[in-house]
Amino acid sequence: MKVVALEVAAIAVLLALAGCGPAPIDPSLQVGPNPYLPPIHQYLLPPMHVAKVVGWNGATPTVPAGLKVQAFATGLANPRSLYVLPNGDVLVVETGGPPAPVSRPKDIVMNWVEKMAHSRTKPGQRILLFRDTKGDGVPDQQSVFIDHLNSPFGVVLVGNDLYVANTNAVMRYPYTTGQTQITDPGVKLCDLPGGPIDHHWTKSLTASPDGSELYAGVGSNSNITENGIVAEMDRASIWQIDRATGAHREYATGLRNPNGLQFEPQTHTLWAVINERDELGPDLVPDYLTSIRDGAFYGWPYSYYGQHIDPRVQPQRPDLVAKAIAPDYALSSHVAPLGMVFYSATNLPAHYRGGAFVGEHGSWDRTILNGYKVVYIPFADGRPSGPPEDVVTGFLVDGDHARGRPVGLAVDGKGGLLIADDTGNSVWRVSAASP
């Protein structure tokens, strides 16, 4: 039996070694324009560390002095993105992705990890409308605005046309101010890359300041081309869609999973937050916030942060890598930014005006969790001008239990910051402590 014991011991030791990786560095070394990029570490067994979902149980997130936070809506079914209509009505998109296919054994494990990290509530696949008639920041009317959508995410209103980005198409609905329900079936403006894989399914949406073009974020169909390069056709890019005809072109490419598309109000430049690739170590690759340049290539899948080659991608494309540009501002690794909003209202203290809030959904492949908060990045002259500051925290409790996870952000008609919390099934509202 000695042989058996030795064999068991050998496997145990080797598996323990397999789980080892470099210790995560301080995320503050990876924020701003020039993040530290450690050497690549490819795991035998990536650390799968997801915060256990415990819910809020009456607690609320934490905000710094001068701000207050209150529940705007609770008991929702996976609220992931928000949009505020001109009359102050708040749209809350209850959504979830399509079921992930299993093409190899790892997918079974990954699907389980995903499930553990999220709320057990079945996503609504609809848009709810909330109205605050008393003006106290707490809505007193609620209705189902548009029902039976297909993994919706982005919403934008241009004139009387309301656009909803389902995971597979941009839909247009007629909207008149004050409407609380849309029953019109809508018209398809254009198809978007959807199934059958649809790995990154959230399609963020915004409109150009003049309203002539729409911009849709179309995430990649894999972490790093493991579903084949053909599956990446028209993906990992931001589409510019002609509002009149529905014709599109790729405005910028090499963006693994772009979300939070917003025009910076001062310079009218398009910005987005990008989820970068996993499984190159706890500190690669930093997710980022960047202005989006017309025609630019940001590296994915061939390279990251400019021209750092990813060895997992074959065949390589040196011609594309030569064109790859580095993004503007790192947010540190695996924070999973999924929402972004520029703050140009006046309710919050002057300190928070002019910059961007970013919702960090939080990491799953890092032994020390990162993200799980809303940060503020100050801007000056249309560019980030300082390190990110934690604004809304408390999503994690006891180190690795999640009460909620922030996703989409919006600024409401009174200047409050709204945060969709898909795991806590709530929308939070942050405003000035004393008006």
Partner 1 sequence: MPGATPRSTVTLGGLPLYAMLVPIPIVCFVATLITDIVYWQTAAMLWADMSAWLLLVGLIVSLVAAPVGMIDFFGDPRIRELHAARIHGIGYVTALILSVFNCLIHTRDAYTSVVASGLALSAIVVVILLVASWNGWVLVYRYGMGVLPTEQQ
Which positions touch partner 1 (CB under 8 A)?
1, 3-4, 7, 10-11, 14-15, 18, 42-46, 103-106, 109, 222-228, 279, 311-315
Min. distance of Cβ 211 from partner 1 in angstroms? 40
Q: What does the alpha-carbon distance between residue 192 and residue 217 come to, in Å, rounded to a whole number?
A: 10
Please say which residue, 33 or 228, places its beta carbon nearer to partner 1: 228
Instruction: Compute φ and ψ for 112, nearest 5 degrees.
Output: -70, -45
Min. distance of Cβ 200 from partner 1 in angstroms? 14
Please say which residue, 71 or 229, places its beta carbon nearer to partner 1: 229
Min. distance of Cβ 282 from partner 1 in angstroms? 16
By the 10 Å C-beta count (0-12 exposed, 13-18 middle, 19+ buried), 259 is classed as buried
Min. distance of Cβ 393 from partner 1 in angstroms? 32
Please say which residue, 67 or 224, places its beta carbon nearer to partner 1: 224
Structure tokens at 157: 């209103």
Please say which residue, 14 or 380, places its beta carbon nearer to partner 1: 14
How many angstroms separate the first and last alpha carbons of the chain?
75
Min. distance of Cβ 42 from partner 1 in angstroms? 6
Closest CA to 203 of 191, 185, 187: 191
SS3 35: coil
Please say which residue, 39 or 75, places its beta carbon nearer to partner 1: 39
In this structure, what DSSP letter does residue 15 have? H
Please say which residue, 29 or 231, places its beta carbon nearer to partner 1: 231
Min. distance of Cβ 221 from partner 1 in angstroms? 11
Buried b (16+ CB within 10 A) or exposed e, 8-38: eeeeeeeeeeeeebeebbebeebbbeebebb
Looking up tokens 């109205």 gives 131
Structure tokens at 132: 């605050």
Min. distance of Cβ 4 from partner 1 in angstroms? 6
Please say which residue, 7 or 294, places its beta carbon nearer to partner 1: 7
DSSP for 240-291 reads: EEETTT--EEEEEE--SSEEEEEE-TTT--EEEEE----SS-TT-SEEEEEE
Which residues fall within 8 angstroms of residue 280, CB to CB, at 6 or more apart?
Answer: 40, 41, 42, 310
Min. distance of Cβ 427 from partner 1 in angstroms? 34
Please say which residue, 59 or 108, places its beta carbon nearer to partner 1: 108
Please say which residue, 168 or 227, places its beta carbon nearer to partner 1: 227
Q: What does the alpha-carbon distance between residue 396 and residue 55 come to, in Å, rounded to a whole number?
A: 10
Please say which residue, 67 or 280, places its beta carbon nearer to partner 1: 280
CA 152 to chain centre: 14
Min. distance of Cβ 312 from partner 1 in angstroms? 4
Closest CA to 329 of 380, 372, 384, 378: 384
Q: What does the alpha-carbon distance between residue 359 and residue 202 come to, in Å, rounded to a whole number?
A: 15
SS3 392: strand
Looking up tokens 């079936």 gives 185
C-alpha angle 26-30-34 in degrees, rounded to nearest 5: 145
Min. distance of Cβ 399 from partner 1 in angstroms? 27
Say if residues 372 and 51 touch (Cβ distance below 8 Å): yes
